[in-house]
């Protein structure tokens, strides 16, 4: 299916903070963005504001310019957006596989988490680009050459991104989970660089200057749910 919408599934370990950061950056670039929480943790659903009369499982909640839902996505819903980011973790996305055009696996260096990704078979027969984010808080002798054979996924070396999880990254994700922040202040350089690279790939017509201005706008403090 020819699809002009960026539809990206995030699978494996929890990555709610990365998804929210990327959605915020894309929104600041003037994009219409939907976050779909199809994960087993429901992390994003839990921090999305509750609006009387709107069930996020059946409807769409708009917050700070970004739309949120946990419902199944059909073609009509897809065509209303420029970018759709789907949080899946260990679940399969509730969308027809042919609509997806990317999958981003997220893991740390624990062997059992790596093996959990290997067991995610939903994406194996799809003709989609795959990449891997490895988030860790320590330097290790374990590298991509050790991990990729264990995953059994079609991921090339240059699509593997080590993002060391700094103290600032961890603190920001904690604040988000408690509804106390929704900005990119204090995140690590590696995470910032990945977000800029990813946004540039998703919106290739955006110039470097506009991208940096959008990122600067994302750093302004905004509170989430009270």
- The pLDDT tens digits of the residues spanning 170-197 come to 999 999 998 877 788 889 999 999 999 9
Confidence band for 151, pLDDT divided at 50, 70 and 90:
very high
Q: How far apart are CA 84 and CA 194, in angstroms?
A: 18
Q: Name the DSSP letter for residue 40.
A: S
Please state, for a pLDDT cut of 90, what percent of the chain lies above it: 73
0.75 exceeded by the pTM?
A: yes
pLDDT of residue 52: 78
pLDDT of residue 219: 87
Confidence band for 1, pLDDT divided at 50, 70 and 90:
very low
What kind of fold does domain 6-218 have according to CATH? Rossmann fold (3.40.50)
Under a CB-based contact definition with an 8 Å cutoff, are residues 133 and 197 in contact? no
Question: Would you mind telling me the total number of residues written for the chain in this entry?
Answer: 226
Three-state secondary structure call for residue 23:
helix
Orientation angle between helical segments 16-28 and 189-202, nearest 10 degrees: 50
- Neighbouring-strand partners of residue 37: 87
Q: How far apart are CA 124 and CA 186, in angstroms?
A: 36
**pLDDT single digits (tens) 73-128:** 999 999 999 999 999 999 999 999 989 999 999 999 999 999 999 999 999 989 89
Of 49-58, 159-168, 210-219, the least confident: 49-58
């Amino acid at each position: 299916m020819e699809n002009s919408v960026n539809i990206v599934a995030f699978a494996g370990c929890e990555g709610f903070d990365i998804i929210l950061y990327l959605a915020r950056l894309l929104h600041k670039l003037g994009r219409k963005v939907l976050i779909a929480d199809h994960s087993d943790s429901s992390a994003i659903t839990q921090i999305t504001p509750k609006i009387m009369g709107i069930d996020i499982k059946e409807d769409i909640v708009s917050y700070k310019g970004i739309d949120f839902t946990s419902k199944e996505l059909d073609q009509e819903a897809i065509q209303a957006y420029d970018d759709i980011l789907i949080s899946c973790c260990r679940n399969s996305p509730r969308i027809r596989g042919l609509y997806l055009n990317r999958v981003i696996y997220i893991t740390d260096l624990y062997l059992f988490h790596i093996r959990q990704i290997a067991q995610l078979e939903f994406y194996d027969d799809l003709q989609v680009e795959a990449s891997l984010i490895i988030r860790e808080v320590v330097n290790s002798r374990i590298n991509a050459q050790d991990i990729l054979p264990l995953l059994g996924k079609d991921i090339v070396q240059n699509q593997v991104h080590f993002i060391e999880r700094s103290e600032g990254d961890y603190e920001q994700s904690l604040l988000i989970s408690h509804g106390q922040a929704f900005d990119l202040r204090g995140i690590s350089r590696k995470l910032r660089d990945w977000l800029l690279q990813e946004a540039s790939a998703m919106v290739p017509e955006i110039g470097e200057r506009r991208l940096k201005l959008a990122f600067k706008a994302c750093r302004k403090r905004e509170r989430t749910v009270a």
